[in-house]
Structure 1
Amino acid sequence: MSYLVGYGSVYPKKVHHRGASIPANQNPSCSDRTWLVSRDPNPNIATGALVGGPSLSDSYNDARDNALQGEPTTTSSAVFTGLLSGLDSNTNYTTLASFT
């Protein structure tokens, strides 16, 4: 399973994210919990969001109200972003250009 939303065929479909879980044509109030408790997949895909990931028992509960595992945060994505930037800084673009 991928914990990066939109990557691969199996990824979180019920991310704990207001923008992903509420249809664009709605105008909900702050107390409206309709979409938080919905069992349907999010109507909007938060492509590229990195969720919290598996529990200590290596399981993942894909439920919108499971904020601990399913909320994309800067804390969980900082390490991933750091790794990607490290790879990018070590890439020789001149060498890559010669292969195209």
Structure 2
Amino acid sequence: MGLRLQVEIKESLEELEKAVKYATTASSKERLQMLYWLKSGQVTSRQAIAKRLGRDEGTVTRWLRRYKDQGRSGLLCVKHAPGKKPIVIRPIRELPNLC
């Protein structure tokens, strides 16, 4: 049997609903949606959240821990792997007709 889900959502339902509506990225939207479902009582377990979002329970646990430790801003912070920045290839302009 898994650990009991104990997370206190500080934001109101109205704040979360507005945040979900105006989220600019898919990752932030699904994380905010998770908080909204928990606050509204629509879900009560990590397993239920994972199933609704199509994510692994470990991912949901990590998100909830981050929210618990760092709040909403920490939850929405998406870290990118270090490394070389991708090269953006621009389309070749059409060459003038030389014939």
Q: Which structure's CA Rg is the greater one? A: 2
TM range (shorter): under 0.3
| Structure with a larger share of its residues in helix | 2
TM norm structure 1: 0.25
